[in-house]
Structure 1
């Protein structure tokens, strides 16, 4: 619907002018700020980056110069070492092998003294013998080309100098260092890649190049192959008058920022040249400028959107009301024929009608919500709420609680066993029916009340009444009328407990729990009873029930002897004895719990598993929940006595089976002896009659036949597998020879001799 009204909206000149003013007001400051930032900040950033680039180059140049100076000073130090003195020329390196070994170690130390040193060599010319080369081991030079190369270095008038041959940069120092007629030289070869890596730090970008030139402009080192650009750059540097500086060099349309300077080396001067494309140097500035432009554009778009939003908010308050009252579904064509206020009037009428319907539905559900709340209150589930919160919730459910006291009744239905056939064994149906009767009767007397069925044949009633003297009488009248109605309609009896009134809602759970406990002191029988905790009134009871110890012993003894029907009759007599004194429910339940504890003790003494018999149920808890004597007796017979009978029978069968198995094992082990039923019964600890009966039930044959089968089987095996005499076999299986022939022929069909021939 909001889309329909947006199509119908017509904006006037004021809307357009206000929108343009909003756009200019929101966009102009952003454009000014963006241009200022780009003009000033970016320019200063470019200048700062250029200076920072130059400082980095000078710092890295000093680092390279320090590394090379370290090599020069270190080599000069070793050139004046006594190992390289005048005596070295006449030394017999083979004979004086220890000194030769020391020189080699010294060169190894010199080679490892700096990461730039690739090789450390010592060249020595001798007067009569071939020149010697340590590298770092001892060698006699025989290669004329190599000797010529070293002699040319030794012939150079400089004592220490840098030399480049075959692409290798070498530092040469003649020895002895203090001699005017040196006869040898220490030579350090520089690692080209290491030095190139140091040089590349002068151009820390992906593109660009670095060169190291000697005093005559020749390339000592370069990190890029020789090109026309490199050659033109060297010419441009040579044409500069200053020894150190920067300038912009353009070649093939690419602008380079060139930095150059000199390094003072021993008896010479080197020039370094670093060229980096300007695009690499100012790339951070370019990225920053693009970010500023993008941020400015986003700010502009945001300003446009906010301006449009603000103008609509100011211009069309009615549109917001239409959107608020519009249903979620679109396409209300009738609204197209109405103006905004007619549409709002019609929608308001519709919403008011829906609100009235929802209120009616809520009112219908309110009693169920109130009943659930009162049930939680009586059971103590709302202890975390304050008095004000509880009163507020009662008022929300329609109760007026100011100046009222809260009175309670607890009703316990008894005699269910006599009417269980009418209600199909459904206790909840009985509780529901009684609750409806109580609700009808309470509605005639009280304005604010709640009936709470607990579906265990008990019902609670909470009444909010003004603090008046006749409140107790009104509750008593309700109890009497309710008792008569339940007796007439349900044919059951009631125990009504009237609790103490509560001035505060928070006291209701505790007083209700006290009332439930007091109902347990009713006379345990199917009769109408009234217990009033306010006045102390209750039905007169008899003397305290005496515990029938003799009947408990009879029940336990009957169970031990397996006379379960007698035990059931004794349980009924036990309960009748407890009820004969008109004892309270509390006393009778305590007696029944004591009886159950005695039975459990007997079960444990018998060695039966009580957990398997109870199947995880708590017998004591189940017995406590029962409110009728007949139900208690039936439960003990069906659950306790029957479970014990099944467990005892199962254990007896297992013991009998083990007795027969031990007898069979004995027969297999002693079949060759004179075995009798009486002897086996003595061993099993029972009578011959009992053992014979159990043997027949377990194996299916009697004792004598089973023993005969064992002996005949053993005789067959001996006849087949041995050459023993028949008389010996007869004695070995426990028979006299003559009787053995008759019994064997009777069971097998042929005499033993014939059986051996056939086998």
Structure 2
């Protein structure tokens, strides 16, 4: 808690107190007076206007109901179906027509809430048809005379304000009479009678007022069309209604709104005239002025009380503020002393606060310097998360604001990305190994960063640690697409030259699409990295532009299915070398016809799937065999042809063949070892696979498969290899002619020469001459 300042209240304190009182209390008092005198009249005017608008809307609603009623009457009067055929119509025989009339009457009644019922009177038929009375004959002369009198009026459509219903002798109803046929004043054969619902009419008028007000309706003759609101109306109400009616009929007011004093009470009177169906009605509403202004009176008193309360609070707050005027300086001094944990000997608080503030500024500058030094690392981390798509929930403005905090103003900028992939690490003859990939990628990142720093300011290089780097550019929005492309093309060309000269590696560069929105960059970068798969494997250095790049059909144009079957056969036989040789040939076939990296990967993925299926058929546990490695995912990480072939050999085929060899029957292995030695002894005899199969009592195919799986070479190739070795021995140690050696080895001379040259690369004669140089030879081959 802050201790009070130990100073006596002098003249300065009282002067400030008076100033605060003036500043606080005078505006409050002035506002209160204005609100009371000006606000009250304004509120009263608004309340009166709102009340008048409500009355006008209610009168308009009544007018709309009567307009709807007028339209219904006119349509009914001039309905073409109501012609003189009704005069001779037999309502009983033509029951369907009668039924249609009944339905029409019901629809008319339901279409307007003011209509109580509709009836049709036919004089010649002496019948009355209606939705309330149904179908009945006129039996009493009194009723017949009443109905016939309706047809004697000169007007075609007119009002009758006291018409009784034939089934209700004492009733008096307001009704509209429509003589038939419509448009003829004489010779009517019948009439429509539309009775109004008196209760609905009363309710509609009574809605105009509430409380102690009165509302009524009268016609041009001064007859009341509404009944009193209560069954036993008070004399005051009837007297007020008569007085208002006489006043309105005697004087013609322009604005239909006036104030009327009645028995020491002022009423706000509003009336409107409605002319429908040849009659003029007047709607009158009178509401006591005290009832309308009651909310205004309450608000006026409330404003006065609020002003007084505000003035009192202002006085108290002024006193409290005067006591606290020196408190901020005292609190600030205590704050500095608490932070330094010592007491100041300086008597002048202002000088003490100034010295402390300068010390804080020095510390803040030092802190700002440390933050500024850490901003590049923070920016690198943020951009790495952003470009990897981890900030997808952030909006454009959030990303831009965050970049501004990290000293990168990317507002109103254009953005571009470029991805570079290094190739040819395996072609350097052992200069680099796969373990050096991260080091090489780091060097490539430094090269592109150095090239960009010479021309561009806002550049970020991402090291993907897999011989590929990504470059993010933020460029001025004044650059056009062509200017940006030219700048990036020049940068890419310089980068290719630098990587070729420094790292001795090939490089593929893909330039991403140019974007005006920074939130699109992670997606653009991802698409650009995927476009690396479309590089041409036969091109040394490549540049692809995603702004012009069209993805063509990436399906394999020619798939070497026969080689695939041979590879599967070699793997099944356990022939690793043969399988690897065929995979190399398979890779060459895939690279033909200008295939891209993606197309080669598709083919190798298909081969992996086929071999995967083949391995499963041998009941091998793939999880145990490959130690839980995801083969497809691992293959996707390799982009160069030679490493892909090595992966197939060492990661896929060799573990399987080892498992296959270990699992093979030990007795069969012993038998094959014996057969191996027997063949070496009998190589000069006329031997064959079938001969040894008969000796071992097994089929030729089974023997061939077992021989190949255990020895790693098929039977025929093994025989050829032994006979070539025997031929080489005879060429060097004997003087036998080629024809004699071929006969000894059970070959035709031409066939022996052909297979010898295929195996050794030279002919038998050249081999003898090469290995007998310096030794005397008495005979020639």
TM-score of the aligned structures, taking structure 1 as reference length: 0.44
Structure number with larger C-alpha Rg: 1
